[in-house]
Structure 1
Amino acid sequence: MKKITIAKGDGIGPEIMDAVLEIFNSANVPLEYDEIQIGEKVYLSGNTSGIEASSWESIRKNKIFLKAPITTPQGGGYKSLNVTTRKALGLFANIRPCVSYAPYVATKFPNMNVVIVRENEEDLYAGIEHQQTDEVVQCLKLISRPGCEKIVRYAFEYAKNYGRKKVTCFSKDNIMKQTDGLFHEVFKEIAKEYPEIESNHMIIDIGTAFLADNPDQFDVIVTLNLYGDIISDVAAQIAGSVGLAGSVNIGLECSMFEAIHGSAPDIAGQNKANPSGLLQAAVSMLYHMGINDKATQIQNAWLKTIEDGYHTADIYSKEFSKELLGTKEFAEKIIENLGQLPGQLQAVLPPKNAIITLPVYNRKPRKEKKLLGVDVFVHWNGFDANEIGNKLKSIETDELQLSMITNRGIKVWPNGFDETFCTDHWRCRFTNKQNISILPSEIIGLLNNAILNEVEVIKTENLYEFEGVKAFSMGQGQ
C-alpha cells in the first residue's frame, strides 16, 4: 500500500481534508497517510518558513503531497510556503483544469473545458527584489531555457495523453522580447515535434480577454508563472466557481496536489466549505499515481452528486439545487453515489496514460559570446538628463563610451523630451563605438572612474552578443 504525505492546513483546511479522506476510505483507495503540520501555527511558533525539517523529510520520502489550504500570516516578512514548496521540490508544472458543469453550476459558458499549464518555478515568482534608490525598487524576471522546455513539452504531452487537440501559448514577447521572447521561441521549437496537435500563440492581454469572452476556443493553454496564476483564477471563476478547481503541481521527483482557493478563515469550523477543489486535486493525484479505477469511480460519483442538485453554499441556486448541504453532508452524498454514473454530465474515462515522463534535459553547447558593453545603474537625485549625461561623460574609458541614458526604460539622453518624468534611478549604457568585444577589465576601469568622480553606481548589467545576435533590450524610444 502506497503512503502519501498530507497536511490539513488552516482555516477550512481540516474540514475539507477530512471530507476527502472520508470519501477515499469509503472507496477503499489503497493509500496510507503520513500527516504533517504546516502553515500558520508553524509560522507563529517562530519558524519563518512555515514548515519543519521533519515535514520536508516526509514529503521527499513519500514523493506525493496532498495539501489543504494554509494561511501565511500578514507582515513579519513571512514567505509563501506554497511558492517555497514548488521551487524547493522542483515542481515545475502547475496544471489547473477549468470545466463547466452547466446547468447545475451557474456559468455563462456551458461548454467550457480548458486546462491551464503554468510554469511554476521562475518568472517574477523567483521573488528577487531590491530597493535600489529612494524612489525605485526592482523585481527580477528570470526565465531559463530548461524551464521553458520542461513546461512547454509537458503541455504537449498532457494534450497527447488526455486527448486534447490544441495547445495555445500566452506570452508578452512584443514588449519583453528577451524573457517572454525565449518562452515563445521554445514553444515554436517544441510544437514542431507534435504535428498532430494544433498550436498557436497569443499575446497575454488579448488572450486573457478572449478567454474571458469565449473560452470555448481554447483547449490547453501554456504560459509563464505570473500570467498562469492570473488566468487560471479567471478561467476557474468563469467556469462556475473557484471552489470547484483543483491544482496539480508536478515535478520530476515529487508532486503536490491542492485546491486553488485559500483557507477562508471567515467560514472555518462552520461546516460550510465546499471540499470539491481539494477533491478534484486528489482525483488528479490518483490518476498521477496510476490508481485510475478509484479516481474514475470517485469523479463520477462527484459528478452525479452535482447533477442531482446536492450543493454546498458557494454553488447553491434555487433553480438547479435540490438541497443545501454542509461539508460533511456533501461528502456523504458522494459516498452514497460511489459506483454510479451521472446521467446528464459526461461521465469520465481514465486517460490513456496519466503518467507523463519527460526526457532528461541536456544542456546545449555554449554559444559564441561577446561582451559589448555595460549598463551602469546610477542613483542620482537630479532631474536634468543632460546634466547627468555630462557628468557621466567624464568617466568614459578608451573602450567604453556613454551611448544612452534611460529612466524607467525610456530614453532621456541624448535628445530626450522635457516632458518625460524622471525618478532618481538612471540606466546608463556604455558601449564600444567600433562594436567590438571588450575585456571585463574595461568595466572595472569604468567603475573605478565612477568612484573617483563620485558617481553612485548601484548595479551593473553586462551587454552580450550570442552567436552574432545582441542579447539585450533597446531603450524605449531609442
Structure 2
Amino acid sequence: MKKITIAKGDGIGPEIMDAVLDIFHAAQVPLEYETIEIGEKVYLNGHASGISSSSWDSILNNKILLKAPITTPQGGGYKSLNVTMRKALGLFANIRPTQSYFPFVASNFPKMNVVIVRENEEDLYAGIEHQQTDEVVQCLKLISRPGSEKIIRYAFEYAKKYGRKKVTCFSKDNIMKQTDGLFHQIFKEIAAEYPEIQSNHMIIDIGAARLAAKPESFDVIVTSNLYGDIVSDIAAEVAGSVGLAGSVNIGTSCAMFEAIHGSAPDIAGQDKANPSGLLQAAIAMLFHLGLADEASKIQNAWLKTIEDGIHTPDIYNEATSKQLVGTKGFAQAIIANLGQNPTQLQPITPPKDAVISIPITTPKKPKVKSLVGVDIFVHQANRNADTLALQLQQATHEAGIQLKMITNRGVKVWPNGLEETFCTDHWRCRFEWTSQSNGNYQEVVSLLQTLYSNQIDVIKTENLYAFDGVPMYSMGQGQ
C-alpha cells in the first residue's frame, strides 16, 4: 500500500482535507497517510520557509504531497512555501485543468474544457534581479533547452494519455526572439514527434485574449512560467469556478497536489468551504499513482453530486441548485453517489495508462562556440549618447575592438539615434572585434581595464557568441 504525505494547512485547510480523506476512505482508496505540519504555525515557530526538516524528510521519503491551503504571515520576510517547494523538489510542470460545469454551475462558456501546462522552475521566476544604476532595475529571463523540452513533452504526453486532440504553444517570440524563440522552436521539434495530435502556436497577447473570449477553442495550452501563471488564472476566472479547480505540480521524482484557492480564514471552522478544489487535485494524484479506477469512481460521484444540485455556498444558485450544504454535507453526498455516473455531465472512464513519464533529457551535441564581441553596460547620468560614444571611442582607439552601437532600454541611440528617444542612465555599449583581431577573452579584459582607468562606470558585461557561425544575441531596436 502506497504511503503519501498530507498537510492539512491553515484556515479552511483542515476541514477540506478531512472531507477529501472521508471520501477516499469510503471509496477504499489503497493509500496510507503521514501527516506533517506546514504553514502559519511553522512560520511563527521560527522556520522562515514555513516547513521543518522533519516535514521535508517525510515528503522526500514518500515522494507525494497532498497539500491543503496555507497562510503565509504578513511582513517579516517570510518566503512563499509554494515557490520554495516547487524549486527545491524540482517540480517542473504545473498542470491546471479548468472546465465548465454548465448549467449546474453558472458559466458564460458552457463548452470550456482546457488544461494549462505551465513550466514551473525558470523564466523570470528564477528571480534574478539587480539594480545597478539610479534609474533602472533589471530581471534576468532564463529559458533553457532541457527545461523547455521537459514541459513541452509533458504537455504532448498528457494530451496523448487523456485523449486530448490539440496542444497550443503560447510565446512572445516576435519580440523575445532568443528566449521565447527557443521555446517555440523546441515546441515545433517535439510536436513533429506526435503527428496524431494537432499543434499550433499563438503569440501570448492574442492567445490570452482568445482564451478569455473563446476558451472552447483550446484543448491543452503549454507555455513558460510567467505566461502560464497569468493564463491559468484567466482560465479559472473565465470558467467562474475557482473553488472547483485543482493544481498539480510534477517533478521527475516528487509531486505535489493542491487546490488553487487560498486558506480563506474568514470562513474557517464554519462548515462552509467547498472541498472540490482539493478533491480535484487529489483525484489527479490518484491518476498519477496509477489508481485510475478509484480516481474515475470518485470523479463521477463528484460530477453526479454537482449535477444533483447539491452545492456549497460558493456555487449555490437558486435557479440551478437544489440543496445548500456545508463541507461535511457535500462530502457525504459524494460518498452516497459512489458507484454512480452523471447523466448530463460527461462521465469519465479510466484511461488504460494514466501514468505520464517522460524520458530523461539528453544534452544535444555542443555547437562550435566563438566569441565575437561584448556588450558592456555603463552607468552614465549624462543622457547624451553622442557624448558617451566619443568618450568610449577616445578610451579605446588603440584597442583591437571597436564600438559598434549604443542602446538605451533596448533602443539604438548611437549611431544615428533620434532626439525624441528618451534615455535613462543605463546604457548598453556593443563592442565587436576589428578585422585585425582574432577575438579572445584577453581583449575583453583589456577593454574593461581601459574603461575603468578612464573613470567609466562599467556595471555589467555580456559576452557575444556565435554558435556554429550563427550570432546568438539580440539586435538593437531600430538597428
Normalised by the length of structure 1, the TM-score is 0.97
Count of residue pairs brought into register by the alignment: 478
CA 1:436 to 1:166, structure 2 compared with 1: closer, same or farther past 3 Å?
farther
d(CA) in 1 for partners of 2:307, 2:87: 38
d(CA) in 2 for partners of 1:417, 1:71: 51
Displacement, 1:435? 9.9
For residue 328 of structure 1, what is the aligned residue in structure 2? 328
Deviations 1:124-154 (A, max 9, x none): 1111112222221111111100011111111
Deviations 1:308-340 (A, max 9, x none): 111112211111011222222211211121121
Residue correspondence of structure 1 range 365-444 to structure 2 within 5 A = 365-396=365-396, 398-434=399-435, 438-444=439-445
Displacement, 1:3? 0.6
Deviations 1:336-387 (A, max 9, x none): 2112111211111112311111112111121001111111111122221222
Displacement, 1:250? 1.0
CA 1:437 to 1:267, structure 2 compared with 1: closer, same or farther past 3 Å?
farther
CA 1:434 to 1:44, structure 2 compared with 1: closer, same or farther past 3 Å?
farther
Secondary structure in structure 1 of the residue aligned to 2:395: coil
Secondary structure in structure 1 of the residue aligned to 2:314: helix
Does structure 2 retain, via aligned residues, the 8 Å contact 1:464–1:471? yes
For residue 362 of structure 2, what is the aligned residue in structure 1? 362
The one-letter amino acid paired with 1:245 is A
Does structure 2 retain, via aligned residues, the 8 Å contact 1:370–1:437? no
For residue 68 of structure 2, what is the aligned residue in structure 1? 68
For residue 463 of structure 1, what is the aligned residue in structure 2? 464
Residue correspondence of structure 1 range 108-119 to structure 2 within 5 A = 108-119=108-119
Residue correspondence of structure 1 range 233-244 to structure 2 within 5 A = 233-244=233-244
d(CA) in 2 for partners of 1:264, 1:424: 45
d(CA) in 2 for partners of 1:377, 1:264: 46
Does structure 2 retain, via aligned residues, the 8 Å contact 1:212–1:235? yes
Aligned residues: CA RMSD? 1.4
Secondary structure in structure 2 of the residue aligned to 1:394: helix
For residue 140 of structure 2, what is the aligned residue in structure 1? 140
CA 1:73 to 1:458, structure 2 compared with 1: closer, same or farther past 3 Å?
farther
Residue correspondence of structure 1 range 11-22 to structure 2 within 5 A = 11-22=11-22
For residue 10 of structure 1, what is the aligned residue in structure 2? 10
Does structure 2 retain, via aligned residues, the 8 Å contact 1:101–1:240? no
Normalised by the length of structure 2, the TM-score is 0.97
State which drifts further: 23-32 or 283-292: 23-32
Q: Percent identity?
A: 72
d(CA) in 2 for partners of 1:378, 1:283: 54
State which drifts further: 362-371 or 277-286: 362-371
d(CA) in 2 for partners of 1:400, 1:385: 19
d(CA) in 2 for partners of 1:211, 1:104: 22
Secondary structure in structure 2 of the residue aligned to 1:313: coil
d(CA) in 2 for partners of 1:395, 1:323: 80
Does structure 2 retain, via aligned residues, the 8 Å contact 1:162–1:352? no
State which drifts further: 104-113 or 20-29: 20-29
Displacement, 1:71? 2.3
For residue 48 of structure 1, what is the aligned residue in structure 2? 48
The one-letter amino acid paired with 1:54 is S
Does structure 1 retain, via aligned residues, the 8 Å contact 2:400–2:436? no
Does structure 1 retain, via aligned residues, the 8 Å contact 2:400–2:437? no
d(CA) in 1 for partners of 2:153, 2:47: 37
For residue 167 of structure 1, what is the aligned residue in structure 2? 167
For residue 454 of structure 2, what is the aligned residue in structure 1? 453
Secondary structure in structure 1 of the residue aligned to 2:58: helix
The one-letter amino acid paired with 2:399 is D
Residue correspondence of structure 1 range 218-367 to structure 2 within 5 A = 218-367=218-367
The one-letter amino acid paired with 2:285 is M
Does structure 1 retain, via aligned residues, the 8 Å contact 2:399–2:447? no
d(CA) in 1 for partners of 2:310, 2:408: 58
Displacement, 1:475? 1.0
The one-letter amino acid paired with 1:229 is D
Deviations 1:134-188 (A, max 9, x none): 2211111111000111111111111111111111111000011000000000000
CA 1:350 to 1:435, structure 2 compared with 1: closer, same or farther past 3 Å?
farther
State which drifts further: 325-334 or 196-205: 325-334
For residue 208 of structure 1, what is the aligned residue in structure 2? 208
For residue 39 of structure 2, what is the aligned residue in structure 1? 39
For residue 85 of structure 1, what is the aligned residue in structure 2? 85
d(CA) in 2 for partners of 1:388, 1:28: 74
Deviations 1:58-79 (A, max 9, x none): 1111011111112233333333
Does structure 2 retain, via aligned residues, the 8 Å contact 1:94–1:119? yes
The one-letter amino acid paired with 1:74 is Q
d(CA) in 1 for partners of 2:385, 2:477: 15
For residue 155 of structure 1, what is the aligned residue in structure 2? 155
Q: Is the counterpart of residue 101 in structure 1 residue 101 in structure 2?
A: yes
d(CA) in 2 for partners of 1:77, 1:450: 39
